[in-house]
A and B are shown apart, each in its own frame.
Chain A
Amino acid sequence: MSKVLMKGNEAFAEAAIRGGCNCYFGYPITPQNEVPEYMSHELPKAGGKFVQAESELAAVNMAYGAAASGGRVFISTSSPGLALMQEGLGFICSCEVPLVAMNVSRGGPGVGGIQPGQADYFQVTRGGYNGDAKIPVFAPSTIQESVDMIYECFDIADKYRNPVIIFADGMLGQMMEPVELPPHKGLATPEEIREKKPWAITGKNNHEGRNVVKSLRLQPDVLEKHVEMLFEKYAEAEKELVRYKTMNLDEAEIVFVAFGTMSRICAEAIELLEEKGVKAGMIRPISLWPFPKKAFDEIGSKAKIVISTELSMGQMIEDVKMAVAGRWPVGLINRTGGIVPSSIEVAERALKALEEVK
């Protein structure tokens, strides 16, 4: 198949269409505006429905409704927009409704800025919704990986009957790279929806009685059982959805932990350190929840320090410390507010951190 040069945001949207998305609800926010723009003209051509909602709150609840009736739903936003969607995501988890949500993140808190950021790590992995729920989160580092992931995540969402979040950032959304697009999976027919999603509110069930999608459970014992059932699914997800890549862990004195855009900068910093005779390696979490704890068991005997490298004041570092479990000192290299450090800055700070622990 031939490659095309595509802008990240447009490729994300095209991947969702080819993944069989038939409903998209969005509200403009930089740096993901090309997603709704692209969807507005391309999704209808592919037989889907595009709605520009009046706010992110409206978009997530429209998505909730469409997914509850069996739609294959995609939504996208950027950091403050995701904050507005949190209430809906909690309801959707409780109701066991599948959908794929994309966060093309920027600087915060509040409206913050529009340049790339990763300070939504807590927002996506811990959630801002109430109650006990989990959402699988995947953080791609290239446009190709994003496309493959979005394409696949509809099936993951369907399997677990839960939202799945794709966590990109402004740089991935705005840049262009060659991509190979997968074939269109085709849109599900009403019969297929009823067969594959027998719980969906289609108005025409194959069984007696009604389908009910709800999150209200007033009796504590009923609610407790429901939440325990959700957590049986999450336990399964924790086994099945762990994804990561590693680089030079056997030889590395410095082990970076970085995802998304930061992992690409770290990859270049590793080359710069090599030129100075210092071996560095990397763990690149792809699934942020479930966090790839087992990757840390692959760290070799030469490691002197593990450095969480983030576009935030240090959020992933909490998961890194838990995974490290005291085996190595844990450092932090970070910039925030939309500043993306150069590979030179990362390499210099890593060298300094190494000297301090030696």
Chain B
Amino acid sequence: MKKKMFFAGSGGQGALAIGQMIAKAGMEEGNEVTWLPSYGPEMRGGTANCTVIVSDKPISCPLINDADVLVAMNLPSLRKFESMVNPGGCIFINSSMVPETSSRTDVKVIEIPANEKAQELGNDRAANIVMLGAILVETNCCRKDTIMHQMEKMFSGRKAKFLPANIAALEVYCK
């Protein structure tokens, strides 16, 4: 098993954060993982992306030539990266922010209104967690219980009050 995933969005949308949560959950499940972000003079509103590899064998190269899964949180990310997805792979589109669909017909395109669903829960910032729930259901990249464990660690101490809202966001798609 080797899953090559690519997460892209604008800075602040939490694309890097959900990539990191999948990497941590994958590690907890005993897999090899790498998380590689784009880096540069970036800021909130700029572009941000990361590559995550989850594998049951040692990972030599953290860079990828193609992806099994693309998560596009905004339109520029979809346009720029949709060509890198393997035929038969998966493209997740945040349809709240992306008015178009993918031009690819040889991949599974899954449109998730992540911001709308998050707003319905009263927490627009949890859009990435809504998306994460959808990714878990569709790709089996890691288990829900290990993601829940990561969320408990992430939202602990002073941040513990955010945990219930994030669990609710995860469970929009991942019951």
Contact = CB atoms under 8 A, between A and B. Distances in A.
Interface of A: 3, 5, 30-31, 114-115, 170-171, 174-178, 264-265, 267-268, 271, 340, 342-344
Given A264-B60, A268-B60, A343-B61, A175 B23 contact: no
A265 B63 contact: yes
Contacts of A31: 39
Nearest to A178: B27
Interface string B22-38: 01100100001111110
Looking at chain A's contact residues, is the secondary structure mostly helix, strand, loop, or mixed?
mixed
A267 B63 contact: no
Contacts of A171: 36, 62
Looking at chain B's contact residues, is the secondary structure mostly helix, strand, loop, or mixed?
mixed
Contact of B34 (A177, A268, A340, A343): A177
Given A114-B39, A170-B39, A178-B33, A340 B63 contact: yes
B40 interface: yes
Q: Which 7 A-B pairs have the closest CB atoms?
A: A267-B60, A176-B35, A268-B61, A175-B36, A264-B61, A178-B27, A174-B39
Contacts of B41: 114
B35 A5 contact: yes
Interface in B1-59: 20, 23-24, 27, 32-37, 39-41
Contact of B37 (A114, A175, A267, A342): A175
Given A5-B27, A115-B40, A267-B60, A176 B65 contact: no
Nearest to A338: B40
Contacts of B20: 5, 176
B39 A176 contact: no
B61 A267 contact: yes
A176 B63 CA distance: 12
Nearest to B51: A175
Interface in B46-86: 60-63, 65
A297 to B, nearest CB: 25
A42 B120 CA distance: 40
